Amino acid sequence: MRRKFQIGGIVQGVGFRPWVYQLAQRHHLGGYIFNSTLGVMIEVEGPEQALDGFETALRSEAPPLAELDQIRVEHLEPVGYQKFTIRDSEDAAGQFVLVPPDIATCPDCLADLRDPANRRYRYPFTNCTNCGPRYTIIQDIPYDRPHTTMAEFRLCPACEREYHDPGDRRFHAQPNACPDCGPWVELWDREGMLAQRAEAIDRTRRLLKDGAILAIKGLGGFHLACDAANDDALRRLRQRKLRSGKPFALMAASLEKIAEFCELGPEERATLSGTRRPIVLLARRPVSRISTEVAPGVPTLGVMLPYTPLHHLLFEGGDFDALVMTSANTAEEPIAYRNEEVATRLDSLADYFLLHNRAIHTRVDDSVVRIFEGRERLLRRSRGYAPRPIELGFPAQEVLACGGELKNTFCLTKQHYAILSQHTGDLENLETLEFFEETLAHMKRFFRVTPRAVAYDLHPQYITTRLALAMPGIEKIGVQHHHAHIAACMAENGLREKVIGVALDGTGYGTDGLIWGGEFLVCDYAGFERRFHFRYVPLPGGDTAIRQPWRSALSYLRDSGLAGAPSLEAVPDAQRRVVEDMLVGRVNTVDTSSCGRLFDAVSAILGIRLETTYEGQAAIELEAVAAPGITEPYPYSIDAGIIDYRETIRAIARDDSPREVRSARFHNTVSAAIAEACRRMHQRDRLTDVCLSGGTFQNAYLLSRTAQLLRAAGFRVFMHSAVPPNDGGLSLGQAVIASSRAS
């Protein structure tokens, strides 16, 4: 008997072929296996009982990094296969396979790295089929070495033997290398090269210990690194990077070391030490050696563990509690990833440069995760997760969804998959637009997608909107911002029928031409109806008000019949009078229902943050001070579809409680208003599924309180996990909406 299998999913670059080879040997079957752009193709021949055992194991025992989401089986007549072989890859025109994400160094390779008797001892590029670079080095599919940036490194005889031995864990590990034939590192300053290979790493550690800032080329781009306990180094880094307040990410050697300065639960430990190694947001211990300059004004730290051999080598000797590892760029630019950028983009940022000569084909930033209700909740989806697809559960038309302007990702659909790009950042400059376009070209080629429609945000000034509208010969589909947020939540949770959607964020272009951001929708993929929204309040100065929350505070106070608040006395009189005149004359103002601006206003009224240095800072610091154990809300009203917080603002301004208590009461008020609006929508529409989306739901206090109230009222609550609730998940919603509408 003979059976033919076509396997779809993430099955290339994950040790699947050698595992199948060994499985066939175990069951004494003849046949073959090869990679194809159709997936992995297998034929096996032998007794029926042996074939049954092979198929059972194929479905249930695949390697840990493999994800089999489609197995097609044909039963055929035998042809006389006597042995099992691994054949060369084939490219079927127009077909595709799923490109695996980059994987952190596995325990076996880490053991090789630390074994003085191993030929890869302290070699910073060791890897195998269970770990190492994937997406960042792949130039085309099928995933074979000639289609990667490792093609220029010719395997030495020892590595060649491993590469062709099905019993070796480095069998067909495309980045396979060793010190004799693979890439190496070099340490440079502005004058030239200082050291190579092991000496370069040793000198890098000493420089970091002495307070230097280094640009270190890693898996998907450069990090800027310094000692996280060194106040002076951190202040210099902030000055150079033009990042005066935004928290920096940390890397620590081990879970034990992280536990010295952060609280760790079992879920956080599992995510930190897993194969993806994202940055995880953790509650900071009140006393530690980590500098307060790392994350001023917030009680959390973003921490990750080493995910490449080079990272592990940097922590040899235990010199550091943690290293700052932040993206090598200045504000709003994409991460640097080419060696030649040392002279053009990194020269003013770092004192020294640790380079390597393995080219990065696709730059990828670090992912960011928060654990909430025992699950990973992505806040930035990038390394380790992209380009892993979202299984839609239905066939989608091939579309491109361009995403939003901030925290941008784009999405391609093919068959039953939605394939999101890695985080590309804020599309506010030419460099980031080029990053968007180069990544789009890569992914269209990898996944063999020829979009028949392009989805875009309704905001006419977004770069992605203008880019979509300029694409020739393709159907254009505009998607309202908050509809896309809710559709993204629906898609990742497998929902197809109408839901109540609560979309809270800072900015989204409404169908009435105004700025939305506090929206309550009844929607499915085909369309939406707006049932409730936050009361419109004039926003003085547009984007300037986002950077100066005191402007929103002045507007909300005036709208509530109040002249001002003590906290605003810190604003110069002349500036305050200009904004008051703008509000009176409705000059350079736009009405907004934005939840983000409401949070900004309360933050300023409480004297927490009058001006910001990064997006969301006022709301983040408002959440950070909220006192636990407070349950009562302030008053608010709902009438004729409008959620009105004028009573709330008056109560906050007149409350003489500590700001920690007032912050908690304000959060409780918004959660109570959400629950009440959903109850009223249920009375009208008889819906019990509620999707929570939008950047405001990154606020863990608000999310927890809201979910609690909704569940107590009998609703099923759905939130994001696989994609971010912020605009990083927007393209998924655009994609499923566009697929349902495309002609």
DSSP string, 441-486: HHHHHHTT---SEEEEES-TT-HHHHHHHT-TTSEEEEE-HHHHHH
> Exposure of 234 by Cβ count < 10 A (0-12 exposed, 13-18 middle, 19+ buried)?
buried
Examine the domain organization and report whether 189 and 305 are in the same domain: yes
Q: What is the DSSP letter of 568?
A: G
pLDDT at 88: 78
Please choose, from the candidates 457, 458, 460, 403, the residue with its C-alpha nearest in 3D space to the C-alpha of residue 435: 403
Residue 273 belongs to what H/E stretch?
A: helix 266-273
What's phi and psi for 187, nearest 5 deg?
-105, 130
Tokens 């806040």 label which residue? 379
The stretches in the chain having pLDDT less than 70 are: 37, 91-97
Residue 463 belongs to what H/E stretch?
A: helix 463-469
Contact 606, 659 (CB under 8 A): yes
pLDDT at 312: 98
Residue at 119: amino acid letter: R
Strands (E), 495-598: 499-509, 515-523, 528-534, 537-540, 589-592
Residue 74 belongs to what H/E stretch?
A: strand 67-76
Number of other residues whose CB lies within 10 A of the CB of residue 654: 8
Side by side, which strands form the sheet with 2-10?
A: 67-76, 2-10, 39-45, 30-36, 84-86
User: What does pTM read for this prediction?
Assistant: 0.93
**Inter-axis angle of helices 617-625 and 595-605, to 10 degrees?**
60
Take residue 347 and report the two structure tokens written for it: 């020269």
Number of other residues whose CB lies within 10 A of the CB of residue 353: 26
What's phi and psi for 458, nearest 5 deg?
-70, -15
Which residues are CB-contacts of 158 (< 8 A; sequence separation ≥ 6)?
119, 178, 180
Structurally, how many domains does the chain consist of? 2
C-alpha to C-alpha distance for 428 and 430, rounded to whole angstroms: 7
Q: Is residue 189 part of a domain?
A: yes
pLDDT at 257: 96
C-alpha to C-alpha distance for 519 and 529, rounded to whole angstroms: 10
Q: Is residue 706 part of a domain?
A: no
Take residue 589 and report the two structure tokens written for it: 């103002």
What does DSSP say about strands 2-10 and 39-45: parallel, antiparallel, or unpaired? Answer: antiparallel
Q: Residues for the chain: how many in total?
A: 743
Residue at 440: amino acid letter: L
Q: Is residue 106 part of a domain?
A: no
Which residues are CB-contacts of 165 (< 8 A; sequence separation ≥ 6)?
171
Q: Is residue 697 part of a domain?
A: no
Take residue 532 and report the two structure tokens written for it: 């409730």
C-alpha to C-alpha distance for 588 and 518, rounded to whole angstroms: 22
Q: Of the candidates 356, 376, 393, which is a domain's last residue?
A: 356
pLDDT at 330: 79
Helix (H, G, I), strand (E, B) or coil at 514: coil
Examine the domain organization and report whether 81 and 190 are in the same domain: no
Residue 324 belongs to what H/E stretch?
A: strand 323-327
> Exposure of 687 by Cβ count < 10 A (0-12 exposed, 13-18 middle, 19+ buried)?
middle
Contact 425, 432 (CB under 8 A): yes
Contact 321, 97 (CB under 8 A): no
Q: How many helices (H) and strands (E) does the chain have?
A: 22, 31
pLDDT at 92: 60
Tokens 């107590």 label which residue? 712
pLDDT at 543: 86
pLDDT at 483: 98
Contact 206, 187 (CB under 8 A): no
Q: What is the DSSP letter of 345?
A: I
pLDDT at 306: 98
Take residue 739 and report the two structure tokens written for it: 């697929």
pLDDT at 304: 98
Which residues are CB-contacts of 420 (< 8 A; sequence separation ≥ 6)?
381, 386, 387, 389, 390, 409, 410, 411, 723, 731, 732
Strands (E), 37-120: 39-45, 67-76, 84-86
Strands (E), 77-144: 84-86
C-alpha to C-alpha distance for 258 and 243, rounded to whole angstroms: 24
Helix (H, G, I), strand (E, B) or coil at 282: strand
Q: Of the candidates 46, 61, 86, which is a domain's last residue?
A: 86
pLDDT at 182: 97
The chain-wide mean pLDDT, for the chain, equals: 94
pLDDT at 94: 56
Q: Of the candidates 30, 58, 86, which is a domain's last residue?
A: 86
C-alpha to C-alpha distance for 366 and 384, rounded to whole angstroms: 8
Contact 58, 20 (CB under 8 A): yes
* CATH code where residue 287 lies: 3.90.870.40
Take residue 521 and report the two structure tokens written for it: 């929708």
pLDDT at 368: 98
* CATH code where residue 79 lies: 3.30.70.100
C-alpha to C-alpha distance for 449 and 589, rounded to whole angstroms: 42
pLDDT at 95: 61
Measured CA to CA in angstroms, residue 239 lies from 232, 352, 614 at distances of: 11, 17, 14
Number of other residues whose CB lies within 10 A of the CB of residue 181: 15
Q: Is residue 506 part of a domain?
A: no
C-alpha to C-alpha distance for 544 and 539, rounded to whole angstroms: 9
Contact 634, 644 (CB under 8 A): no
Contact 610, 567 (CB under 8 A): yes
| DSSP symbols for 379-415 | EE--TTTTTPPEE-SS----EEE---SSSB--EEEET
pLDDT at 69: 77
In DSSP terms, which residues pair with 370 in a beta bridge?
A: 377
Q: Is residue 216 part of a domain?
A: yes
Q: Is residue 707 part of a domain?
A: no
Examine the domain organization and report whether 337 and 222 are in the same domain: yes
What range defines the domain where residue 205 resides?
185-356
Residue 621 belongs to what H/E stretch?
A: helix 617-625
Measured at the alpha carbon of residue 476, what is the angle toward residues 472 and 479, in degrees to the nearest 5?
150
Q: Is residue 274 part of a domain?
A: yes
Examine the domain organization and report whether 81 and 212 are in the same domain: no
Examine the domain organization and report whether 326 and 196 are in the same domain: yes
